[in-house]
Amino acid sequence: MIPAKRKELILDALNENGVLHTHEILEKCNVSEITIRRDLIELESKGLLIRTHGGAIKSQAMDLKFSFDLKIGQNREHKETICQLAANYINEGDIIFIDCGTTLSLLTRHIANFNNLTIITTSLPVISGLIGFPNIRLSLIGGEVDHERQATYGPVAENNIEKHHADKAFVGADGLSLKKGLSSYDDKEGAVTLKMIENADKVYLLCDSSKIEKNSFVKIASINKIHHLITDKAILPEQIKQYQDFGVDVIIEKTDIK
């Protein structure tokens, strides 16, 4: 078994049971105890587990990692489609804001081959996804770190965003409705999203259809603050018309609905 697969097996077992005994992995992987010990040392150095006598227990960082990964997996096909569509509206030379969130983190897969982009973001997964591409200039906005969202936030982050200008902002929301506009579960995350909206020429909201006409805890911005809604084909026809009537360009399945 290759090392990456072996470590994945270790993390999956820990996530399921919370505790792992070395002999359990030895039976499944058919490798030496020294090899397993090295795997555990490496995973502990990344904060993903805590070694114990005879095995390991799950760390809090691992809980956060699996929480984020679980959210990415929800409506994954729709999220990938949305990000692929969004990439079509990015041009060489653009300066863009990329918001945090699981959908936005998948956008990196579709823009890595651009030759000249400047990305300004609060999202650690966005930085991680593009760090190996020197053709893309990256600017990570500083601030406090939200471990679950894997992003920076707070007054420092908001002030830093205000100092930048972007051609386009690609943002997310936990809810979207005609009456309440964009909304978020978290006020500190919503404040960062609003700053990106206010400091960009064009705003693209990436939002799967399950969030449309749903209201979350904190209002971020009115519906007239976004120019384009990029969503999946499960959006209802009447919703498309309603949002168009508000002046929002609705983009679905590689087609601009006019």
Claim: this prediction has a pTM higher than 0.85: no
CATH number at residue 134: 3.40.50.1360
What are the tens digits of pLDDT across the range 156-166? 999 999 999 99
Of 99, 132, 135, 98, give the one whose Cα is nearest residue 117: 135
pLDDT at residue 159 in the model: 96
Shared domain for 93 and 43, answered yes or no, is no
What mean pLDDT do residues 233-256 have? 88
69 found inside a domain: no
Shared domain for 30 and 86, answered yes or no, is no
Which are the contacts of 187, defined by CB distance < 8 A and separation ≥ 6?
217, 218
Band of residue 182 on the pLDDT scale cut at 50, 70, 90: very high
pLDDT at residue 258 in the model: 43
119 found inside a domain: yes
CATH number at residue 8: 1.10.10.10
Rounded Cα gap, residues 59 and 62, in angstroms: 5
Shared domain for 130 and 162, answered yes or no, is yes
* Count of domains forming the chain: 2
- 21: exposed, middle or buried (Cβ count in 10 Å: 0-12, 13-18, 19+): middle
142 within 8 A of 161, measured Cβ to Cβ: no
121 forms beta bridges with 98, 140
68 found inside a domain: no
Domain that holds residue 9: 3-58
What phi and psi, each to the nearest 5 degrees, are found at residue 81?
A: -60, -45
